[in-house]
């Protein structure tokens, strides 16, 4: 059975300073993200054991644990690629036109994603996603890693609103952290994900 693995970071831990400190980034990647990878792999083993024994009495808990850890792994893997020390500004071309079409303007989109991220209750994410049925961009406010999500949407740009992503540096002022994320967005990565999702 194939196993999930922790991806290498596309830049040094200190590369996103001063917006995100190297200490936070290292803890976030090497500890928190790694824990989700381990959790997904461990749960897969427990599911395989349940199948071998024909004992599915704990299936509800195992399915929930697997969804939590796998979604955490997927979202973090996207998050690292969405950020860049050379990021910021705003997109142009077809993707910029799509933002205008589905949100009215870049400013309206930015305000909606910022609000979705800063107001998520407890821990979660603000996500720009492609919704293939209506063939449109949507903003989702994700609880934990997997709750409140439209089925079949594809994440393109994700903002981590878990406290471990910012608390050492920004304390309880999540809006300041989210505002800094806009200066780090790797729009080339987001646009590539948009074209891949739209063409699927």
Predicted pLDDT of residue 148: 80
Report the candidate in 165, 121, 163 with the shortest Cα–Cα distance to residue 142. Answer: 121
Instruction: Report in angstroms the alpha-carbon separations of 112 from 2, 22, 119.
Output: 38, 28, 11
Predicted pLDDT of residue 187: 98
Whether residue 28 is annotated as binding a ligand: the answer is yes
Predicted pLDDT of residue 149: 81
Contacts of 54 by beta carbon, 8 Å cutoff, 6+ apart: none
Predicted pLDDT of residue 147: 81
How far apart are the C-alpha atoms of 106 and 90, rounded to whole Å?
8
Predicted pLDDT of residue 45: 97
**What is the chain's length?**
200
Instruction: Name the token pair of 105.
Output: 């303007």
Contacts of 188 by beta carbon, 8 Å cutoff, 6+ apart: none
What string of pLDDT tens digits covers the 200 residues of the chain? 789 999 999 999 999 999 999 999 999 999 999 999 999 999 999 999 999 999 999 999 999 999 999 999 999 999 999 999 999 999 999 999 999 999 999 999 999 999 999 999 999 999 999 999 999 999 999 999 888 887 889 999 999 999 999 999 999 999 999 999 999 999 999 999 999 999 86
Other CB atoms within 10 Å distance of the CB of residue 169: 17
Whether residue 76 is annotated as binding a ligand: the answer is yes
Report angle CA 46, 148, 69 to the nearest 5 degrees. Answer: 25
Domains and CATH numbers, the chain: 22-82 (1.10.287.990), 93-199 (3.55.40.20)
Helices and strands (H, E) in the chain, number of each type? 8, 3
Instruction: Report in angstroms the alpha-carbon separations of 163 from 14, 17, 33, 97.
Output: 19, 18, 13, 33
Whether residue 164 is annotated as binding a ligand: the answer is yes
């Amino acid at each position: 059975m194939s196993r999930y693995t922790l991806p290498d970071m596309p830049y040094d831990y200190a590369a996103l300073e001063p917006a995100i400190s190297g200490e936070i980034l290292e803890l976030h990647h090497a500890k928190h993200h790694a824990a989700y990878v381990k959790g997904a792999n461990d749960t897969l083993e427990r599911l395989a054991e349940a199948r071998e024994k024909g004992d599915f009495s704990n299936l509800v808990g195992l399915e929930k644990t697997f969804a939590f850890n796998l979604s955490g792994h997927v979202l973090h893997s996207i998050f690292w690629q969405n950020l860049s020390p050379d990021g910021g500004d705003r997109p142009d071309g077809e993707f910029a036109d799509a933002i205008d079409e589905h949100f009215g303007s870049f400013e309206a989109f930015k305000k909606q994603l910022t609000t979705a991220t800063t107001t998520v209750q407890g821990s979660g994410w603000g996500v720009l996603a492609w919704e293939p049925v209506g063939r449109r961009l949507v903003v989702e406010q994700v609880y934990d890693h997997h709750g409140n999500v439209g089925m079949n949407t594809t994440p393109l740009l994700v903002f981590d609103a878990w406290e471990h992503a910012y608390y050492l540096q920004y304390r309880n002022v999540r809006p300041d952290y989210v505002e800094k994320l806009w200066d780090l967005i790797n729009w080339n990565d987001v646009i590539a994900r948009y074209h891949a999702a739209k063409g699927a």
